[in-house]
Structure 1
């Protein structure tokens, strides 16, 4: 990236000098700022990428929130309540993934010869690269992967990267994460992270080993998530991955407590507000959104105490959801439930990437599949519920009442999935993936006001390829999009085996 900028600047400077004063042989010397760093310091690069991820992916109130069945628009209604399905929608998310991975790769290349001095920052960078890849493929299915970042002559000169199949990307991500996990099991580095680690660094209690242990846990927890995602299409790989992690807790520790959840917290001062707060409160825009009817109805039907955390009561003192994609908003905006204060009024709140409860929902499902994970499905499920309730500020008494009532373990995967759906609120992208894989919530439905009418009976299956991909990588993009219909349907994710959807 820096070389490209440098060469572009050199060409511009050369032309100017040629026009003004003939020619010179000192173009590069003249065009070089002696005070500028040739590369960004590795720690600066890391914190920039982590912050960028939170800001780019943490602000989706509707969109993924609508796809997952949580949130609907009640003002400024549009056809899709969050997605106008053109090939220009969600392009910023695509570019953010590649921007972040480009920055991390440049940093890893720069530190390769002095890796010992940057061991910890390199561990985190590599883990985050894989998180970005998982996000990309879960959003767009087939994406440029193996030929990415090969644009320079030294790297191979590939300017138009081919798209790799999702079924090839997943094993590669799992392989890379295992390599990182094995390396971390042998020991961490000594390089201090300080403010570069925007996720786990605690300035009031500096403990580098604990900080790196949490990253190690995130690495293995991410392996659990990815393995479970493909359990229906690559059962052998899923089983061996999950059993290896569960069977060697000392070698492969996982996130097991809310204090270990992977999330980006914000200072809460201008301009660094938590994104939902920023979009929900500034300019009094909070009343743009309400909770979906299917979400509120489920919480009411199951007497789920988390309703008090995720939703506000309507003006008559009742919880009430609103239909997805209605042609008009409610006659009174306060006649429906808005997003709860716990999630939208905290300027110093957090963007979650992996909640602790997710670990145990995965282990519960793994146990149901017959995997040897060292814990029963019921024990893992109840642990997950307790973690989610605590994360939402719910009392032990209310949690126990729920587990004795509608939330009681009934020895089905559906019980796991329904509760996991509730627990993933605000981690909307992951909840959308849960829906696409499992079909839960089964009550989910597309926009009532879709421009396609009844042509599609489901929420979007994918995100549209950005317009620039069709402009600058058209041949490869056309191949990748051959089975795509109306930009977001046509071909389901590799791991999405639901039937009857169109």
Structure 2
């Protein structure tokens, strides 16, 4: 697999020459002349996982915003003292690498990529666009990759378009439509890709549920009634499993040379309050053995106050997340069940919301290796965990926030959408007591795509961390 990954860099744009002679001279008889779908798929999955699970978009930004992690030194990101250069990775890699390579697969003739490759590529492209719009708001969508200065589409237009794209992806996927290689996640199992497509459709249905309830209900019905089904067990979870260095989990690589993050006090306190058996998975005991309990770091502290908590007296994130082979979970079975619970609570689909909610928590426990039935039952029967039908957003939002630990981008989106749990900005933060509601657009958009950028912020609101996005504006 490593060998295959190294080949990805060979597949750039084929340079043309006005001289046939020079063309012949410059040809490498041993090189592949055109990019191959399996290698592009392999590269996209690896680079997408790195983007989702890596520092800029996850543990140095969104994981801080939702108070899963905290900084114990170099606290500027945890105080929101950042610029538009802090949020370029998701945009630049999303467009220039992932969407570009996926469009290449989608546009291949059938001889180079069967319809299953194209269905998978369209699914992954939809996921990438979803990450982008969830983080920034209005984004280039319809003209992305077609124009040098593409127009931005509103978030409503993007979500609506992605529902159509995913319906098309579903129609392209079939076990009879050819084999798929280079798939490091589902190993070419088209049935699992079909489940992921429907699960993404359900995710988007809830994204738009407060703003377009009729469309959301239909999207939820379409997703749950499709013959392809949804992710139906932890074995279906969409995750990228890393291997040894240099292809290890990004958080693992970070902690090999850095020691500037701790698990947040906010989530440690909540897990402690609930006697949550996931706490030893999510956190390590402090290295000072005399402490003897899990201690989270405060969010939004000054550098001196963060340092004074004590490096040896505070808990690092759990080793489950920091080994070379720790998986980058992107869409879990637990999330599907939480989404079904909410869809049922909203009356979009039939089903018992409370049962689905309990099953979602159980699936999260199982995901992290906790299978003791008594422990799970005791947890579910606590007053602080029991499902509250009168405020499903609080029950689902709080437990979803816990289950999403480590998945910063989606935890950030769901926290903004459901408004639970109630989080408080740290004492040294710089946004007048507010927590960010979005990412800044990269500065290059102002200089290279200024007309489209200006039109987008005129419609959406100022390019500030505190500007609420369409799905979040209540």
Give the TM-score normalised by the residue count of structure 2: 0.89
* Secondary structure of 1:471 counterpart: helix
1:415 paired residue among 374, 395, 399: 395
- Asked whether 1:393 is paired with 2:372, we answer no
Matched residue, 1:238: 216
Counterpart in 2 of 1:6?
15
Asked if residue 118 in structure 1 is aligned to residue 106 in structure 2, the reply is no
Taking a change above 3 Å as real, the CA distance of residues 103 and 74 of structure 1, as seen in their structure-2 partners, is same
Contact 2:329 2:407 in 1 (8 A): yes
Deviation at 1:55, TM superposition (A): 1.6
Q: Which residue of 2 aligns with 1:17?
A: none
Kindly indicate whether residue 348 of structure 2 is the aligned counterpart of residue 360 of structure 1: no
Q: Aligned to 1:335, which of 313, 318, 337? A: 313
The answer to whether 1:144 aligns with 2:140 is yes
Structure 1 counterpart of 2:471? 495
- 3-state SS of paired residue (1:233): coil
Query: In structure 2, what is the equivalent of residue 383 of structure 1?
Result: 359
Whether 1:226 aligns to 2:212 is no
Match of 1:445 among 415, 424, 439: 424
1:92 aligns with 2:60: no
Q: Give CA deviations for 1:126-147 in whole Å, capped at 9, x if unaligned.
A: 1101111111111111111111
Is the 1:436–1:496 contact (alpha carbons within 8 Å) kept by the matching residues of 2?
yes
Shift of the 26–231 alpha-carbon distance from structure 1 to 2, 3 Å rule, reads same
Q: Which residue of 2 aligns with 1:132?
A: 128
Aligned to 2:6: none
**Which deviations, in whole Å up to 9, do the C-alpha atoms of 1:319-345 show, x marking residues without a partner?**
22222121122432122222112222x
For residues 246 and 108 of structure 1, the distance between their equivalents in structure 2, rounded to whole angstroms, comes to 26
1:298 matches 2:286? no
Shift of 1:3: 8.8
Task: Tell me the distance in 1 between the aligned counterparts of 2:364 and 2:159.
Answer: 28
- Is the 1:69–1:294 Cα contact (8 Å) retained in structure 2? yes
SS of the residue 2:429 aligns to: coil
Structure 1 partner of 2:179: 191
Structure 1 alignment gaps of length 5 or more: 15-23, 151-157, 202-207
The 8 Å contact of residues 262 and 353 in structure 1, kept in 2 or not, is answered as: yes
Is the 1:266–1:347 Cα contact (8 Å) retained in structure 2? yes
Structure of greater Rg: 1
How many angstroms apart in 2 are the aligned matches of 1:25 and 1:225? 51
Q: Give the equivalent residue in structure 2 for 1:204.
A: none
Distance 2:228 2:66 in 1: 31
Quick one: structure 1 residues 486 and 161, their matched pair in 2 at CA, closer, same or farther if it must change by over 3 Å?
closer
Q: 1:166 aligns with which of 155, 171, 176?
A: 155
**Aligned positions, number:** 450
Distance 1:292 1:270, change over 3 A: closer
CA distance in 1, matches of 2:236, 2:13: 39
1:200 maps to what in 2?
186
CA contact (8 A) 1:263 1:350 kept: yes
State the 1:252 CA deviation: 3.3
What is aligned with 1:278? Answer: 253
Q: In the TM superposition, what is the alpha-carbon distance from 1:84 to its structure 2 partner?
A: 4.1
Gaps of 5+ in 2: 1-9
Q: Paired residue for 1:49, among 29, 44, 48? A: 44
Cα offsets for 1:55-103 (capped at 9, x unmatched): 222123231101122111002222x327543221121211111121111
- SS of 1:270 mapped into structure 2: coil
Deviation at 1:31, TM superposition (A): 4.0
